[in-house]
């Protein structure tokens, strides 16, 4: 079965998120609890203030799947509902069929860390 991951609405007023780091590569088998990627959401355009309201989030798998396609890189801005990844239940399934549903993930707020794209371009 084919599944997809689209950028969901994580916090109100967000319209996009930046990919901060990737933890998986296409072809890898991911277990429940495996990290997929970290994202940042910048709400400074919605809430003007001196300290930009930037939050960081981690996407973690809630089911065992094979990562087949990952169409993002660190630093890339992604928009709501954009397809970021495609998964399958078997390693060699045909990707030409429409996804059956969204892959099951959990999203948790995290702190900024040294592996993230944001803040490491100084």
For 46-86, the pLDDT digits (tens) are 556 666 688 999 999 999 999 999 999 999 999 999 999 99
Return the CATH architecture of domain 2-110. Answer: Beta Barrel (2.40)
66 and 89 Cβ atoms separated by less than 8 Å: yes
Cα(90)–Cα(69) distance, integer angstroms: 13
Cα(16)–Cα(9) distance, integer angstroms: 9
100 and 2 Cβ atoms separated by less than 8 Å: yes
Contacts of 48 (CB under 8 A, 6+ apart): none
Q: State mean pLDDT over 103-107.
A: 98
Q: Which residues pair with 108 in a beta bridge?
A: 58
- Torsion angle, alpha carbons of 6, 12, 18, 21, to 10: -80
Q: Which of 67, 54, 48 is nearest to 16 (CA)?
A: 54
Q: Which of 28, 13, 9, 2 is nearest to 82 (CA)?
A: 9
* Residue 121 confidence (pLDDT) above 80: no
Q: Please, what is the average pLDDT of the chain?
A: 92
Cα(119)–Cα(92) distance, integer angstroms: 38
Q: What is the pLDDT of residue 120?
A: 74
Write out the two tokens for 22: 């990737």
């Amino acid at each position: 079965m084919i599944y997809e991951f689209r950028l969901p609405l994580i916090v109100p007023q967000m319209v996009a998120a930046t990919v901060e780091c990737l933890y998986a590569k296409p072809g890898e088998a991911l277990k429940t609890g495996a990290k997929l990627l970290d994202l940042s959401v910048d709400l400074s355009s919605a809430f003007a203030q001196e300290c930009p309201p930037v939050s960081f989030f981690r996407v973690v798998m809630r089911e065992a799947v094979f990562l087949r396609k990952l169409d993002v890189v660190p630093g890339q801005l992604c928009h709501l509902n954009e397809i970021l990844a495609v998964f399958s239940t078997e390693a060699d399934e045909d990707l030409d069929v429409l996804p059956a549903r969204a892959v099951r993930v959990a999203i948790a707020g995290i702190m900024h860390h040294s592996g993230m794209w944001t803040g490491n371009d100084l």
